[in-house]
Structure 1
Amino acid sequence: MSITTDTRTALPVGTWTLDPVHSTIGFEVDYLGGTFRGQFRETEAKLVAEGDGPVLIGSAKVASVDVKDENLNAHLQSPEFFDAERYPELSFESSEIENDGDEVLIHGGITIRGIEKPVELRGTISEPITDYTGRERIGLRLETTVDRTEFGVDWNAPLPDGNPALTNDVSLAAELYLVKKA
């Protein structure tokens, strides 16, 4: 299912919470010449567009990382990557949300392994719709790229040609379906 969007849609007023069944927060990284993808199964997000200005907050449980292989899931949770035991959650909180012509721009801080860095998310937001149960919903699609080594995620393995197995740049993408709080 895709979200049809008008990229100049204003943020709808209200408090919107994540529909986790229909939402995905994931990542992509170049690995061994291909693209390696994963996602987090346990996520939370809330958009509050009232009063002093809109705020988007979200988090993911590191132990819920899923790359379709239990051994790799365990490796990603280890101290060589996310270190789930010491840092059980990844988080994001916006500092500013704005429309910029064709896109929604969300400035904020992302925290991975206890290290917070500024980030700009770009994406689109759909017009509010009323679903078949009478609840209002919006779709919010966001993307950014971060350098994983800035968060202490610096594991790598050299290939025979001297190149690293894993690139430092990681693309993050969120496809959020948000439901208006009654």
Structure 2
Amino acid sequence: MPLLTRRALLAAILMLPALGPAAAAPTRYVLDRDRSEVGFSFDLAGTRLRGTMPVARAEVLVDLSDLSRSSVEVTLDVARARVALPLARQAMLGPDILWAERYPEICFVSARVRLGPQGRISEGAKIVGHQTIRDVTRPVTLRAALYRQPGSAPEDLDFLEIRLTGSVSRRAYGASGRADIVRDRVDLDISATIRRAE
């Protein structure tokens, strides 16, 4: 799936209702791997490079009665990361940076959700959790949004789109190689399509 460059999706912001106490317990959603990935970008010698990394798996629970109790766990497949510049990809996956051979996964696990205005997760929300890169786990806060599929009815929550955005320091995770030409900050744009589990 394109990395939420679909402007139409932004027009379909999910306005999840605050359901009453009788609402069901958290609902499990299943990841659509073909339409889910992580976009990342970084500065290499003054040039902005963009890449993608596929989502290997995700566990998503959406609590429609209290969205702050929703949770997400996302695991990325490091070895399948792609960058337009082959030499940059080779260096990125090598021992001085991500070391994909030894550390094949990157994982984010949420701890709590801070809802946006009017108790919604559709805009202005943040997910606080922990991210693990190269077996180093650090706290991280990501901006979060949850959307209905464009054109779907307000009550149709069978298919949803998640977007998590933020940035990390490579150095904080021991991935500081080539610091002479690659800046420390890496920006993340995680997008996932999920469907309600049967």
Alignment: residue pair count: 174
Identity %: 23
- The equivalent residue for 2:168 is 146
**Runs (5+) with no aligned partner, structure 2:** 1-5, 20-25, 118-122
**In 2, Cα distance between the equivalents of 1:155 and 1:11?**
46
Normalized per residue, the structure richer in strand is 1
Matched, 1:125 2:146: yes
**Runs (5+) with no aligned partner, structure 1:** 159-164
Offset, 1:67 = 0.8
- The equivalent residue for 1:30 is 43
**In 2, Cα distance between the equivalents of 1:112 and 1:167?**
17
Q: Relative to structure 1, is the Cα distance of residues 75 and 41 closer, same or farther in structure 2, using a 3 angstrom cutoff?
A: same
**In 2, Cα distance between the equivalents of 1:25 and 1:85?**
19
Which secondary structure state, in structure 1, belongs to the residue aligned with residue 91 of structure 2? helix
Matched, 1:75 2:91: yes
Aligned mate of 2:28, from 15, 20, 30: 15
Offset, 1:135 = 8.6
Aligned mate of 1:46, from 49, 59, 63: 59
Q: Relative to structure 1, is the Cα distance of residues 168 and 11 closer, same or farther in structure 2, using a 3 angstrom cutoff?
A: farther
Q: Conserved in 1, the CA contact under 8 Å of 2:49 and 2:84?
A: no
AA partner of residue 40 (structure 2): F
Per-residue CA deviation, residues 108-143 of structure 1 (Å, 9 max, x unaligned), is 000000001111110321136769xx9921111110
Per-residue CA deviation, residues 64-85 of structure 1 (Å, 9 max, x unaligned), is 1111344433322211111112
Aligned-residue CA RMSD (Å): 2.7
AA partner of residue 16 (structure 1): Y
**In 1, Cα distance between the equivalents of 2:164 and 2:82?**
20
**TM-score, normalising length: structure 1:** 0.83
AA partner of residue 23 (structure 1): S
Q: Relative to structure 1, is the Cα distance of residues 70 and 29 closer, same or farther in structure 2, using a 3 angstrom cutoff?
A: closer
Q: Which has the larger displacement, 93-102 or 71-80?
A: 71-80
- The equivalent residue for 1:110 is 131
AA partner of residue 6 (structure 1): I
**TM-score, normalising length: structure 2:** 0.77
Consecutive aligned runs of 4 or more in structure 1 exceeding 4 Å deviation? 10-13, 128-131
Aligned mate of 1:6, from 6, 9, 13: 13
Which secondary structure state, in structure 1, belongs to the residue aligned with residue 35 of structure 2? coil
